[in-house]
Amino acid sequence: MESLKDKDLRAIYCRQVDRIFKVVLNRPEVHNAFNEVMIAELLEVFLKIAKSDEVRVVVLTGVGKSFCAGGDLNWMKRMKDTSYEENYADALQLSELMHTMYTLPQPTIARVNGAAIGGGAGLVAVCDLAIASQDARFGLSEVKLGLVPACISPYVIRKIGETAAREYFLTGERISAERAAEIGLVNEVVHPEVLDEAVQRKAELLVSSGPRALTMCKELIEKVPLMDFDSVKSYTARMIAQLRVSEEGQEGVKAFLGKRKPNWNPNSSPRSRAFGITE
């Protein structure tokens, strides 16, 4: 993969500390609202991450007071005046981004530092884990504009379930960080001052696990609920058999029996090398 370390693009920037790769939404003047530029840059970066053996965990966050305010108003204004075909192509790019992030081989963590509205809430939903500041607020307010959360709906519905989706898709009301945790949109809510520490701790837990095993766990979560019981028996048996005889599985068992760390986890990154986000 082309190196993306410390790379600044137009709407995002990327930083890598050891095996933890940070993707930072960088349009604070519009609360990190996304437009066609940000969508294209995110898609480019995540497609490259998917092919990288160096990246073990991805953290997504935003600069400033907001995580992501959803669609940029100027972008939405431009799309309003274009054809159906142009709108379809534009929306398909967003759908492709969401699917690419959701199916990424590496685990992803959303560091939700502030408001995550509309498509911003979708970016939270496609991440495997989400840790939110107590100040964060969420919303699926597309209906207030006469629109729907279409491209993000497969992932939000999976994350929060049909009951909560019916409530918040239809009412468009704001969701507190605590309520987001109750419905499963985020995993943990912390004080803003310890947000980085909480994300770092979770990232280190992920790095300590077998990278292939993590990818297979994500595949299980995605595919098993869609299978019938007859199909799932052979699918899951094949998966565990493959991992048991794999190099990673063999190393993991040997390390456990030998009371040592496996070769994919030589030493955890020191906490002092944290990941501060440039505000």
What are the pLDDT digits (tens) for 55-101?
A: 999 999 999 999 999 999 888 888 888 999 999 999 999 999 999 99
pLDDT at 175 over 90: yes
Say how far apart CA 119 and CA 21 lie, in whole Å. 22
Cβ atoms 110, 130 nearer than 8 A: yes
Cβ atoms 91, 150 nearer than 8 A: yes
Name the architecture of domain 211-263: Orthogonal Bundle (1.10)
Say how far apart CA 90 and CA 208 lie, in whole Å. 39
Q: Report residue 113: phi and psi, to 5°.
A: -90, -10
Name the architecture of domain 7-207: Alpha-Beta Complex (3.90)
pLDDT tens readout for residues 239-264: 999 999 999 999 999 999 999 999 99
Among 24-28, 79-83, 126-130, which stretch is predicted with the lowest mean pLDDT?
Answer: 79-83
Contacts of 39 (CB under 8 A, 6+ apart): 93, 94, 97
| Intervals of CATH 3.90.226.10 along the chain | 7-207
Under DSSP, is residue 62 helix (H, G, I), strand (E, B) or coil?
Answer: strand
What pLDDT, on a 0 to 100 scale, did the predictor assign at position 135?
95
The whole-model pTM stands at 0.92
Residues acting as catalytic residues:
142
Q: Give the position of tokens 């953290």.
A: 59
